[in-house]
């Protein structure tokens, strides 16, 4: 079974600075999908960014970008120009490709990020 590990339970960053959240995963598949979700205090789950394992180019969404290292099975999230609204729990998640069976998302335990003014 796939596992997702987030080794940083809590992190903090000064407003306008850059922070990187770590995520590693374990799988024997060659194609799969990786996601970062944000959960603010409202509890709503918000998709931040997504990446397909076959694509070598790192995904970017505005201030959010990933560093995808397939050989190392690493998928870190970089937040640039941090804003107070970025304060939230961040979850890394893994999904098999459809060819590997119908399996929903597998989540890591999360990293609580606090942005400090």
11 binds another protein (CB under 8 A): no
24 binds another protein (CB under 8 A): no
Structure tokens, 98: 């459809």
Alpha carbon separation from 21 to 18, 68, 82, 99, 100 (Å, rounded)? 10, 12, 13, 29, 28
Q: Which of 72, 85, 102, 117 binds another protein (CB under 8 A)?
A: 102
Least distance in angstroms from the C-beta of 18 to another protein: 24
98 binds another protein (CB under 8 A): yes
Structure tokens, 74: 């690493």
Q: Which of 50, 63, 73, 78 binds another protein (CB under 8 A)?
A: 50
14 neighbors 82 (Cβ within 8 angstroms): yes
Stretch near another protein under the rule CB under 8 A, chosen from 1-9, 11-19, 66-74, 75-83? 1-9
- In degrees, rounded to 5, the angle at the alpha carbon of residue 33 between the alpha carbons of residues 82 and 81 is 10
70 neighbors 25 (Cβ within 8 angstroms): no
Stretch near another protein under the rule CB under 8 A, chosen from 13-21, 40-48, 63-71, 72-80? 40-48
Query: Which residues in this chain contact another protein in the complex, by CB under 8 A?
Result: 4, 6, 9, 33, 43-45, 47, 50-52, 91, 95-98, 102-110
């Amino acid at each position: 079974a796939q596992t997702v590990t987030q080794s940083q339970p809590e992190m903090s960053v000064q407003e306008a600075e850059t922070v990187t959240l770590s995520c590693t995963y374990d799988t024997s598949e060659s194609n799969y999908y990786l996601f970062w979700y944000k959960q603010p205090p409202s509890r709503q789950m918000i998709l931040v960014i997504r990446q397909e394992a076959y694509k070598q180019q790192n995904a970017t969404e505005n201030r959010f970008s990933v560093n995808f290292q397939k050989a190392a099975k690493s998928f870190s999230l970089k937040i640039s120009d941090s804003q107070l609204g970025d304060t939230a729990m961040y979850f890394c998640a893994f999904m098999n490709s459809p060819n590997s069976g119908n399996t929903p998302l597998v989540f890591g335990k999360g990293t609580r990020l606090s942005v400090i003014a």
